[in-house]
Chains A and B, each alone.
Chain A
Amino acid sequence: MNKNMHYEEQEDLRLGIVTGGSLTRGLDVKLDNTDLIEDVSVGTYVTIAGERHHFLGMITDISLEMVDPMLSINPPDLSNPFLSRVLNGTIIYGKLHILPQLTLSGSAASLLEGPQQVKTIPSHFAMVRQASEQDIARAFGEEDEKHIYIGNPLDMETKVCLDVSRLIERSNGIFGKSGTGKTFLTRILLAEMVQRGNAVNLIFDMHNEYGWMSTSESGYEVKALKQLFPSRVAVFTLDEQSSSRRGVSTDFVVEIGYDEIEPEDISILQETLNITDKGIELVYELHEHYGKKWLDRFLSQSVQETQEELEQRIEVHRGTLQALRRSLSQLKRLHFLVSEARQNSVASLLAYLNRKMNVVLEFGRYRDNILAYVLVANMLTRRIHDSYVRRKEQAMGESADEPVPLIITIEEAHKFLNSSVASQTIFGTIAREMRKYNVTLLVIDQRPGSIDEEVMSQIGTKMSCLLDNEKDIDSVLTGIHGKSDLKVVLSRLETKQQALIFGHAVPMPIVVRVKTYGTPDSYEHYGSITPTRAKLETEDIDDLWG
């Protein structure tokens, strides 16, 4: 009696009773009254009062049922109030399908343990009611240093929070079709992480959206990271002119020497540059023969010269050489590529990251240029990853500190992570090795269906806005409990600013209205949560060592 007290107080939210189901298939709930049907929506939460536990579950389907099919042949006149009240909830009734997610236990001891993943289901006819704000708050925790407030559940004001330490433990993904709010959601996440300082971010900012001001679809200007956290964010640019035209105060202009480009960098661009398999073999030969200077040499001398010089090693067709030269000449259009860079971009990038400065790399006029994006992101990441691996190994040998966890944000992730290149690119490696070397990814993509399956399965927390392509939906939901139920939920999201979040950093899948970003009061919050004292101290010490 006593333990149900809390629930009896809220009798008015009662929806119905559990009539059947299973842990894997979900539970069937008969609504007390069909009138309730229009008050419930897919994606919202209910609590079920079992004998010993309380359960939290998500509504994944709503249906109309009748006890006797005869009724559909001779339907009763429900405009008659008497008949309507007699028949509603008795032989015609509404049914909810519920995917049980968590047990919120009743006993005091288990209160301490917090919500647990469901391992059982409530008994027959257990009472079902709409989840209260407190139930959700208990499951997701309060917003604080360790919890990022990301948005609110449908029809509720409670905050839905992500567990930061779990978030940075694995690679994460933000998906959704064009214009659904991926970039806004990413800005929120990045800003929250920057202000907490648990990890340092490197953002390959393909569309120049994360460093400085940009304009939203509805025409107002939206601030970005450098404006919110000037002392903790550096903007690197590949195109100084574009950045200064947009009034961005940049910290570093990235130049990449031809001598820094390695055969692997070309090989992942095979498709973009339209190079044959033979051509790729040739690239490795050129590198072997000419060493670091291979690309510069190949592009500056004539095909004939190259052929003659190579002939001592291998036999090459002139045609293959000509085709390769044509393909690689496209690189000449990228003006940040120079024969020899004045400064070592990788070294200065690492220097910033080591000082816990978050770095946004702007592409300037190369926005939407896949060639530039893939080339630069892949090259820089590979070097940075090498350095992290080295430092992590030194740290294991106790000759150095652990490197600060690094999160690398990439857009159009399927370009790096589709099945044909995921095994070769550094991004595939990072996704697969989890956080072994303190480097993880935040992948943003409109077409998750094109991302390699294995990589998708390694993604810890997935945040998906609306998707309507079957293949994309399937790939996002791979491996999750109650997949077919969640499919319904995912395809019913609003077209903007709503996301289904599930995985490592949340206790259970939940649909959120993503909090609004871009209004003056939305910025006020940033700066209210600062990195913990202990962290600041290590930062200072790092500084002393330079």
Chain B
Amino acid sequence: MGIEMPLKVAEVIEANTTEFTAQCYELYQAPPFGSLVKTSTAPVEIYGIIYNTTTGSIDPGRRPLARGKEESKEEDIYRIHPQFSSLFRTECNVLVVGYNEEGRIHHYLPPHPAHIHSFVYQCSDEEVYQFSQSLDFLSLILASQGKSPVPVEELLAASLRYASRTHPERGEFLITAGRELTLLLSKEVNCLSTILKRIQGE
């Protein structure tokens, strides 16, 4: 097995203990919703889950205008105005769900938040597999309820679907995760059934 270079995708531009915001190097090239990323802030690597992605104007004062009235294809807009790609940016909000210290994964919040300008890498399948050996991150996600504009059920379901792809026994993994969620959400049956519906088809 060759050493896979981790895929560098973004850079931290704002951070606190529970989350950080990263700007993607490429417009629209954010890691998928619910996927696992990491950022290195020596001596630890902080793991996070993408919970919200926004694309907008670099200058908050200037809103983009609609440009495609005369064009037949959307790509033509960017072809005609190549500068647009650098006027907009894509940002991700990342929920901190653990960290890695000297090769040991902890599923709780790190001692310090990420530094600004830390690089953000997309985790490899192997890392996702290792990280999701424990399902404690589910309770950290649940605790973020209300923070993001995205319903927490959606985030839970997306992160489980994403992680499940790396497990050879995908169905078993989802059942175990489902049972864990059932215990966490035993008092919120409606919320639970929403999530279960979203992961059962996998």
Assess whether A330 is interfacial by the CB under 8 Å rule: no
Chain A neighbourhood of B200, CB < 8 A: 80, 82-83
- Interface residues in A37-86 (C-beta closer than 8 Å to B): 67-68, 70-71, 74, 76, 80, 82-83, 85-86
B51 to chain A minimum Cβ distance, whole angstroms, is 24
Assess whether A90 is interfacial by the CB under 8 Å rule: yes
Assess the B175–A91 pair: CB atoms within 8 A: no
Assess whether A334 is interfacial by the CB under 8 Å rule: no
Neighbour of B179 across the interface among A68, A80, A86, CB < 8 A: A86
Neighbour of B196 across the interface among A67, A70, A86, CB < 8 A: A86
Choose among A71, A80, A82, A87 the residue with the greatest number of B CB atoms under 10 Å from its CB.
Answer: A82
B128 to chain A minimum Cβ distance, whole angstroms, is 22
Assess the A85–B183 pair: CB atoms within 8 A: no
Q: How far is the CA of A70 from the CA of B186 in the complex (A)?
A: 10
Neighbour of A76 across the interface among B175, B181, B186, B193, CB < 8 A: B193
Neighbour of A90 across the interface among B171, B174, B183, B190, CB < 8 A: B183
Chain A neighbourhood of B192, CB < 8 A: 91
Assess the B175–A82 pair: CB atoms within 8 A: yes
Chain B neighbourhood of A85, CB < 8 A: 175, 178-179
Q: How far is the CA of A80 from the CA of B196 in the complex (A)?
A: 11
A77: nearest residue on chain B (CB-CB)?
B193
Assess the A68–B196 pair: CB atoms within 8 A: no
Assess the B174–A82 pair: CB atoms within 8 A: yes
Assess the A82–B178 pair: CB atoms within 8 A: yes
Assess the B189–A74 pair: CB atoms within 8 A: yes
Neighbour of A68 across the interface among B178, B181, B187, CB < 8 A: B187
Chain A neighbourhood of B178, CB < 8 A: 82, 85-86
Q: How far is the CA of A84 from the CA of B104 in the complex (A)?
A: 35
A87: nearest residue on chain B (CB-CB)?
B182
Chain A neighbourhood of B186, CB < 8 A: 67-68, 90-91
Q: How far is the CA of A527 from the CA of B76 in the complex (A)?
A: 106
Neighbour of B189 across the interface among A70, A80, A82, A83, CB < 8 A: A70
Assess the A71–B182 pair: CB atoms within 8 A: no
Known: A80-B200, A82-B175. A90 touches B189 (CB 8 A): no
Chain B neighbourhood of A80, CB < 8 A: 200
Q: How far is the CA of A83 from the CA of B192 in the complex (A)?
A: 11
Chain B neighbourhood of A91, CB < 8 A: 182-183, 186, 189, 192
- Interface residues in B20-69 (C-beta closer than 8 Å to A): none
B57 to chain A minimum Cβ distance, whole angstroms, is 44
B72 to chain A minimum Cβ distance, whole angstroms, is 46
Q: How far is the CA of A512 from the CA of B33 in the complex (A)?
A: 62
Chain A neighbourhood of B187, CB < 8 A: 67-68
Chain A neighbourhood of B175, CB < 8 A: 82, 85-86
Assess the A71–B189 pair: CB atoms within 8 A: yes
Chain A neighbourhood of B179, CB < 8 A: 85-86, 89-90
Assess the A86–B182 pair: CB atoms within 8 A: yes
Assess the B182–A68 pair: CB atoms within 8 A: no
Q: Using C-beta atoms within 8 Å of the partner chain, give the interface range for chain A.
A: 10 to 19
A90 to chain B minimum Cβ distance, whole angstroms, is 4
Chain B neighbourhood of A74, CB < 8 A: 189, 193
Q: How far is the CA of A108 from the CA of B81 in the complex (A)?
A: 87
A92: nearest residue on chain B (CB-CB)?
B182
- Interface residues in B157-195 (C-beta closer than 8 Å to A): 171, 174-175, 178-179, 181-183, 186-187, 189-190, 192-193
- Interface residues in A515-535 (C-beta closer than 8 Å to B): none
Q: How far is the CA of A233 from the CA of B185 in the complex (A)?
A: 72
Q: How far is the CA of A41 from the CA of B196 in the complex (A)?
A: 33
Chain A neighbourhood of B196, CB < 8 A: 82-83, 86
Q: How far is the CA of A118 from the CA of B193 in the complex (A)?
A: 43
A294 to chain B minimum Cβ distance, whole angstroms, is 82
Q: How far is the CA of A68 from the CA of B191 in the complex (A)?
A: 13
A451 to chain B minimum Cβ distance, whole angstroms, is 51
Chain A neighbourhood of B181, CB < 8 A: 86
Assess the A68–B174 pair: CB atoms within 8 A: no
A242 to chain B minimum Cβ distance, whole angstroms, is 72
B41 to chain A minimum Cβ distance, whole angstroms, is 37
Q: How far is the CA of A481 from the CA of B178 in the complex (A)?
A: 42
Q: How far is the CA of A71 from the CA of B186 in the complex (A)?
A: 10
B184: nearest residue on chain A (CB-CB)?
A90
Q: How far is the CA of A83 from the CA of B189 in the complex (A)?
A: 13
Q: How far is the CA of A85 from the CA of B196 in the complex (A)?
A: 12
Q: How far is the CA of A276 from the CA of B20 in the complex (A)?
A: 100
Q: How far is the CA of A182 from the CA of B187 in the complex (A)?
A: 52
Choose among A70, A80, A91 the residue with the greatest number of B CB atoms under 10 Å from its CB.
Answer: A91
Assess the B182–A90 pair: CB atoms within 8 A: yes
Q: How far is the CA of A86 from the CA of B181 in the complex (A)?
A: 9
B85 to chain A minimum Cβ distance, whole angstroms, is 43
B33 to chain A minimum Cβ distance, whole angstroms, is 22
Q: How far is the CA of A91 from the CA of B193 in the complex (A)?
A: 12
Q: How far is the CA of A68 from the CA of B189 in the complex (A)?
A: 7
B180 to chain A minimum Cβ distance, whole angstroms, is 9
A71: nearest residue on chain B (CB-CB)?
B189
A93 to chain B minimum Cβ distance, whole angstroms, is 11
Scoring A residues 110 to 131 as 1 if CB is less than 8 Å from chain B, else 0, what string do you get? Answer: 0000000000000000000000
A68: nearest residue on chain B (CB-CB)?
B189
Q: How far is the CA of A82 from the CA of B176 in the complex (A)?
A: 10
Chain A neighbourhood of B193, CB < 8 A: 74, 76
B201: nearest residue on chain A (CB-CB)?
A82
Q: How far is the CA of A490 from the CA of B196 in the complex (A)?
A: 43
B80 to chain A minimum Cβ distance, whole angstroms, is 50
Choose among A67, A71, A86, A90 the residue with the greatest number of B CB atoms under 10 Å from its CB.
Answer: A86
Q: How far is the CA of A89 from the CA of B183 in the complex (A)?
A: 10
B76 to chain A minimum Cβ distance, whole angstroms, is 46
- Interface residues in A395-452 (C-beta closer than 8 Å to B): none
Q: How far is the CA of A526 from the CA of B192 in the complex (A)?
A: 65
Q: How far is the CA of A76 from the CA of B200 in the complex (A)?
A: 13
Chain B neighbourhood of A70, CB < 8 A: 189-190
What 18 additional pairs, Cβ within 8 angstroms, besides A82-B196, A86-B175?
A67-B186, A67-B187, A68-B189, A74-B189, A80-B200, A82-B171, A82-B178, A82-B200, A85-B175, A85-B178, A85-B179, A86-B196, A87-B182, A90-B179, A90-B182, A90-B186, A91-B182, A91-B183
Chain A to chain B: the 8 pairs with minimum beta-carbon distance, closest first:
A86-B178, A90-B182, A67-B186, A82-B200, A70-B189, A85-B175, A91-B186, A68-B189
Q: Provide 27 A-B residue pairs closer than 8 Å at the C-beta atoms, listed in order of the A residue.
A: A68-B186, A68-B189, A70-B189, A70-B190, A71-B189, A74-B189, A74-B193, A76-B193, A82-B174, A82-B178, A82-B196, A82-B200, A83-B196, A83-B200, A85-B175, A85-B178, A85-B179, A86-B178, A86-B179, A86-B181, A86-B182, A86-B196, A89-B179, A90-B179, A90-B186, A91-B183, A91-B192
